[in-house]
Amino acid sequence: MQLGFVTAILPDYDLRQVFQAAAEIGYDCVEVMCWPQGKDARRYAGITHISAEDFSDSDVTTIQQMADEFGISISALGYYPNPLTPDLEEAQKYVEHIQKVIAAANKLGINRMNTFIGRDWKKSVDENWPRFLQTWPEIIKFAEQQQVRVGIENCPMSFTEDEWPGGKNLAISPAIWKRMYADIPSDYFGLNYDPSHLVFMHMDYLAPIRDFADRIFHVHAKDVRVDQHRLDQVGILAHPLEYHTPKLPGLGQVEWGSFFSQLNEIGYQGPVCVEVEDRAYEDSTESSLAALRQCHTYLRNFIPERK
């Protein structure tokens, strides 16, 4: 396995600074954010460390030279919009940019791109399914042509009032993953697996590693703490952030020894990228770098350096 981090935590850095920080701390790789240029109101969104717009051979050369200079690889290109939003014009823009990011991953020789399925959050899973079947077969067919595997993160995206009640990503549970892969049985359609989302939904986060071993293309390392005293007040039907708190690995309720033991058991050899969303480390770039150093120190207990 390779230890890395998601570059969204360093929004004020350019790609060279990101590579340099990764090398100085001791990481092996980074998942690079590829949002379209411009602001986005959502936390950790709208960050562009590689622009997939008009991505050229010159861009490829520059990026590969920087990666070689610092000895850091790119685990995947990441872009996490809602391509099933009820605004069809907006959805089409998201789909087109997903395809641009897939094409950029192909040009860079990276075989992974990570994203969300999306969802109309006011409709049920069944009511969303026709849109899923209209939208995703074409994206995955394009990914097959580009030989880029698409990893879907299993985050429910149901944390704020505008995402209530259903969330903005369908792919939240083993039951829905089975349905997705039954309808689109492509080897290029898999998971960017994050255990923290299953913890706060009171679900087993180890069994899916075994059950979906051949679908795990990429892993996010994020921890979570379920605040029982708050849950006792609001119940599980409240906005999830009312009763749980994202944390750095080792500061929450994920049992990382068991988690990595299961990844070893299935022979997973891919990247594991820290996703820092712990508000205790968000007040400055130095705090973000401190979080990355702490995560590196902790997770190296489970992912040894191979140099």
Tell me the Cα Rg of the chain: 18
In a domain, 245, yes or no: yes
CATH of the domain at 167: 3.20.20.150
Q: Cβ of 284: how many Cβ atoms within 10 Å?
A: 10
Give the CB-side neighbour count of residue 93, counting CA atoms within 13 A. 9
In a domain, 217, yes or no: yes
Question: Which range marks the domain in which residue 34 is found?
Answer: 2-301
Category of 152 on φ-ψ map: left (φ > 0), alpha (ψ -120 to 50) or beta: beta
Q: Residue 213's pLDDT is what?
A: 98
The total number of structural domains that make up the chain = 1
In angstroms, the CA 275 to CA 295 distance is 10
Q: Residue 305's pLDDT is what?
A: 87
Q: Residue 165's pLDDT is what?
A: 85
Q: What is the DSSP string of 232-262?
A: HHH-TTS-GGGTEEEE-TTSSS--HHHHHHH
Q: Residue 232's pLDDT is what?
A: 96
In angstroms, the CA 285 to CA 297 distance is 18
**Beta strands per DSSP E along the chain:** 2-6, 29-33, 73-78, 112-115, 149-153, 189-193, 216-221, 223-226, 244-247, 271-274
Q: Residue 307's pLDDT is what?
A: 62
In angstroms, the CA 77 to CA 30 distance is 9
Q: Residue 37's pLDDT is what?
A: 85
Residues 6+ apart with CB under 8 A from 167: 119, 121, 156, 157, 158
- DSSP label at residue 1: -
Q: Within the chain, which residues score under 50 in pLDDT?
A: none
Q: Give the predicted TM-score (pTM) of the model.
A: 0.96
Q: Residue 183's pLDDT is what?
A: 98
In a domain, 27, yes or no: yes
Give the CB-side neighbour count of residue 115, counting CA atoms within 13 A. 30
In a domain, 59, yes or no: yes
Residues 6+ apart with CB under 8 A from 241: 159, 160
